[in-house]
Amino acid sequence: MSLEDWAFLAEIVSGIAVIISLIYVGLQVNDSTSAIRSAAASDATKTMQSWYLEMGRNRQASDVWYNAMTSQEALSARDEFQYMMSMHTAILGMQNSYLLSKEGTLDTEFREAVTTAIVAVKDMPGMQRYWKQRRGFFHTGFAEYVDDLLARDAIETLDIYKN
């Protein structure tokens, strides 16, 4: 074989090596994307679990939250503040899920599962009071999304709020 033949053979081998390395990089990127999505779903779940755990485990916090949600009027200044901060924590977690789903990191079905809680309490006086006061604190796209949720038909899942 001539030197030219060897050079041609080396070009073919290097081309094959480049193709193999590109396939490998593509597989690594795919694995990385999957890991990022799993981590985002796990983080969103943990955020909401922590909030629900706090409400379920802390009687004082759950009493304040329940009273604020069901009361037509604001509670005492301290209780209303505690309610607003607690509610804001939950809604911020939902906003995070919304934003992650918009960028494609979190599945939209997961986002819907998390934010359906808003539809369940949309007609509660505390939710209406909260959203009126705090809507402007959120990302515009998320605020509009919540407005759309609030316009949906109510779902009957929370008999615990009925007196």
What would the pLDDT profile of 81-117 be if each residue is shown by its tens digit? 999 999 999 999 999 999 988 988 888 888 888 888 8
Contacts of 96 (CB under 8 A, 6+ apart): 44, 47
Identify the weakest region by mean pLDDT among 25-29, 115-119, 126-130. Answer: 25-29
What would the pLDDT profile of 141-158 be if each residue is shown by its tens digit? 999 999 999 998 877 765
Between these two residues, 106 and 28, which has the higher pLDDT value? 106
- The contacts found for 153-161 with CB under 8 angstroms, 24 or more apart, are 154/119, 154/120, 154/122, 154/123, 155/116, 155/119, 155/120, 157/120, 158/120, 158/121, 161/66, 161/69, 161/70, 161/121, 161/124
Domain boundaries, the chain: 40-161
